[in-house]
C-alpha cells in the first residue's frame, strides 16, 4: 500500500483529501504545518506528498525546497493561490504537478495515481542508456550525466528530458510534452513546461542563458539539439 502525506492547515480540506485517498486504497498521514510535514516526511518516508503552498510558520515553497535537498519524493502542490508565478516557482523547485483550490477530490486522486504510476514505470522500465551529444541517460537507474558529471533530476524532469533526448532535433509542443509527462495534455497547464525546462537548463547547461542542449522553438515549444 502506497503512503501519501497530505499537508494542509485547513482541517476540512485535509480531511476531504484523506478520505478520498483512503477510499482509493492509499495509506494517508496528515500534517497541518511545514515543520510537521518535514518531520513526518523524515520519519514515515511517504511515497508522495500533497503539499499546500499557503502554510503557517513555514511556507509550502520552503517545505518543497527542504524536501528536495535530501529526497526525490514526488510532490503534488495543492494551493488556493491564483498567481501563476507561485505555481511556476513550485515546479522549478522540483514539484511534479499541481491542483488549484477549489479542487475536485476525484481529480486529486487521479493525479496522485498518475504520478505514482510514472514512478513505478520508471522503476520497472529497462531501457538501454541514451546518449546524445554530452548528455547520457540511464532509464533503468534513473541517472543522468552531462560530460560525465552526474546530474540530480526529479522524476518529472527526467521523464521530460528523456522524451526530448529520445528524438533529438524533433520539435515538441508544450502540449505534447505535457502528454508525455502527465498522460494527458491540459492547455491551462502548459506554462508548467516552461518551469521544468528552466530548471533542467539550470542543471544541465554550461550557460543556461544560452542553452546548447534544450533549445526553444519560438511559438511552438522545445527540442533537444541533434548536433
> What is the band of 192 on the pLDDT scale with cuts at 50, 70, 90?
confident
The model carries a pTM of 0.66
| Residues 146-170 pLDDT 10s | 999 999 998 888 989 998 998 888 8
Q: Which residue has the cell 503552498?
A: 53
Strands 135-138 and 221-224: unpaired
Phi, psi angle pair for 162, to nearest 5°: -60, -40
* C-alpha grid cell, residue 157: 524532469
> What is the band of 210 on the pLDDT scale with cuts at 50, 70, 90?
very high
* C-alpha grid cell, residue 93: 523547485
Percent of the chain with pLDDT over 70: 91
Q: How far apart are CA 84 and CA 112, in angstroms?
A: 21
pLDDT value for 146: 94
Q: Could you tell me if 133 and 180 lie in one domain?
A: yes
Residue 138: CATH number of its domain: 1.10.10.10
Domain containing 199 equals 126-224
* C-alpha grid cell, residue 47: 511515497
Q: What residues does 51 pair with on adjacent strands?
A: 7, 77
3-state DSSP helix/strand/coil % of the chain, to nearest 5: 45, 20, 35
Q: What residues does 135 pair with on adjacent strands?
A: 132, 146
pLDDT value for 189: 63
Whether the pLDDT of residue 211 is over 80: the answer is: yes
Last residue in a domain, options 69, 99, 122: 122
* C-alpha grid cell, residue 104: 475536485
Q: Could you tell me if 184 and 110 lie in one domain?
A: no
Whether the pLDDT of residue 82 is over 70: the answer is: no
pLDDT value for 219: 80
Q: Could you tell me if 49 and 95 lie in one domain?
A: yes
* Mean pLDDT of the region 117-127: 64
Residue 12: CATH number of its domain: 3.40.50.2300
Last residue in a domain, options 122, 139, 164: 122
Q: How far apart are CA 127 and CA 123, in angstroms?
A: 11
Q: Could you tell me if 48 and 137 lie in one domain?
A: no
Phi, psi angle pair for 135, to nearest 5°: -100, 130
Q: Could you tell me if 112 and 133 lie in one domain?
A: no
pLDDT value for 123: 61
* Mean pLDDT of the region 24-46: 95
* Mean pLDDT of the region 183-188: 46
- C-alpha angle with apex 19: 29 to 30, nearest 5 degrees? 20
| Residues 68-80 pLDDT 10s | 888 889 999 887 7
Q: Could you tell me if 51 and 70 lie in one domain?
A: yes
**Strand, helix or coil at 224?**
strand
* Mean pLDDT of the region 206-227: 90
Our count of domains for the chain comes to 2
Q: Could you tell me if 94 and 18 lie in one domain?
A: yes
Last residue in a domain, options 122, 138, 165: 122
Q: How far apart are CA 151 and CA 142, in angstroms?
A: 10
pLDDT value for 188: 46
Amino acid at each position: 500500500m502506497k503512503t501519501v502525506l497530505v499537508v494542509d492547515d485547513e482541517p476540512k480540506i485535509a480531511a476531504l483529501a484523506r478520505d478520498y485517498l483512503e477510499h482509493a486504497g492509499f495509506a494517508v498521514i496528515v500534517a497541518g504545518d511545514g515543520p510537521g510535514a518535514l518531520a513526518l516526511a523524515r520519519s514515515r518516508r511517504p511515497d508522495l506528498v500533497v503539499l499546500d503552498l499557503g502554510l503557517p510558520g513555514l511556507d509550502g515553497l520552503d517545505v518543497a525546497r527542504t524536501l528536495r535537498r535530501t529526497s526525490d519524493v514526488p510532490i503534488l502542490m495543492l494551493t488556493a493561490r491564483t498567481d501563476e508565478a507561485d505555481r511556476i516557482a513550485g515546479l522549478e523547485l522540483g514539484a511534479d504537478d499541481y491542483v488549484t483550490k477549489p479542487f475536485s477530490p476525484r481529480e486529486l486522486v487521479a493525479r496522485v495515481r498518475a504520478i505514482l504510476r510514472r514512478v513505478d514505470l520508471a522503476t520497472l522500465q529497462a531501457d538501454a542508456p541514451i546518449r546524445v551529444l554530452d548528455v547520457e541517460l540511464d532509464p533503468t537507474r534513473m541517472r543522468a550525466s552531462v560530460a560525465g558529471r552526474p546530474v540530480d533530476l526529479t522524476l518529472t524532469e527526467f521523464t521530460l528530458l528523456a522524451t526530448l533526448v529520445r528524438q533529438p532535433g524533433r520539435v515538441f509542443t508544450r502540449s505534447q510534452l505535457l502528454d508525455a509527462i502527465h498522460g494527458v495534455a491540459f492547455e491551462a497547464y502548459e506554462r508548467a513546461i516552461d518551469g521544468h525546462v528552466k530548471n533542467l537548463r539550470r542543471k544541465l547547461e554550461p550557460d543556461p542563458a544560452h542553452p546548447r542542449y534544450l533549445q526553444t522553438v519560438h511559438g511552438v515549444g522545445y527540442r533537444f539539439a541533434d548536433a
